[in-house]
């Protein structure tokens, strides 16, 4: 059992609400890109904020709050992916779990391409391109050598470039 000092809920609850408002949507989308399932992504976000709440006293401010929350969420998503019944990946049909019938929503071209990446590549793409982390931070977070992160990013970029050709890349 992990023991934490009881937080001062009255003073921290407004912070938590602010954190959810500020970071919730981004974390939810990040978790969806990791897990390919909206319900699981919501669970992951809930666990992320629960863990952040519990560990807030240990947050030393060495990174930004966003990076700190991203690291917690990435860890939780990895744990979820490890579970035996979630390990298999599926293709872009994961998007069907989203309510994409809304005519105002654009075609999920980039999302689809990212979801189609193998997990190890998708992970670094989500953290680097979507969450804006540097390769060094990702290497520390994932306990990987930095060249491995760079190599995975390069491979992912190649796949994405092929996949998104004539959609986004010709518009640069």
Interactions with another protein, residue window 81-120 (CB under 8 A): 81-85, 87-93, 95-96, 98-103, 105-112, 114, 116, 118-120
Minimum CB distance to another protein, residue 62 (Å): 20
**Residue 23 DSSP class:** H
Total length of the chain: 172
| Spatial separation of the C-alpha atoms in residues 56 and 50, rounded to whole Å | 10
**Can residue 2 be called a binding residue for another protein (CB under 8 A)?**
yes
- Asked if 158 is part of the footprint of another protein (rule: CB under 8 A), the reply reads no
Residues 12-31 that bind another protein (CB under 8 A): 13, 16-17, 20, 24-26, 28-29
Q: Rank residues 98 and 140 by Cβ distance to another protein and give the closer one.
A: 98
Q: For 5, which DSSP code?
A: P
Q: How many Å apart are CA 153 and CA 139, to the nearest integer?
A: 12
Range 32-61, binding another protein (CB under 8 A): 32-33, 38-43, 45-47, 49-51, 53-55
Residues 123-142 that bind another protein (CB under 8 A): 125, 128-130, 132
CA distances from 152 to 1, 8, 9, 79, 142 (A): 36, 42, 41, 20, 12
Closest approach, Cβ 60 to another protein, in A, equals: 18
CB 123 within 8 A of CB 142: yes
* 66 lies in the binding site for another protein (CB under 8 A): no
Q: How many residues bind another protein (CB under 8 A)?
A: 91
Phi and psi at residue 64, in whole multiples of 5°? -75, 160
């Amino acid at each position: 059992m992990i023991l934490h000092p009881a937080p001062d809920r009255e003073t921290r609850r407004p912070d938590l609400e602010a954190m959810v408002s500020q970071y919730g949507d981004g974390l939810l989308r990040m978790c969806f890109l990791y897990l390919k399932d909206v319900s699981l992504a919501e669970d992951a976000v809930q666990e992320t904020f629960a863990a952040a709440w519990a560990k807030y006293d240990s947050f030393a401010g060495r990174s930004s709050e966003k990076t700190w929350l991203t690291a917690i969420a990435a860890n939780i998503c990895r744990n979820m992916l490890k579970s035996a019944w979630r390990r298999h990946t599926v293709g872009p049909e994961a998007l069907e779990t989203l309510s994409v019938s809304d005519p105002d929503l654009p075609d999920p071209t980039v999302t689809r391409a990212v979801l189609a990446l193998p997990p190890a590549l998708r992970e670094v793409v989500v953290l680097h391109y979507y969450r804006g982390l540097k390769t060094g931070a990702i290497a520390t977070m994932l306990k990987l050598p930095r060249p491995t992160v760079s190599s995975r990013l390069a491979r992912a970029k190649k796949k994405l470039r092929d996949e998104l050709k004539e959609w986004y890349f010709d518009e640069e």
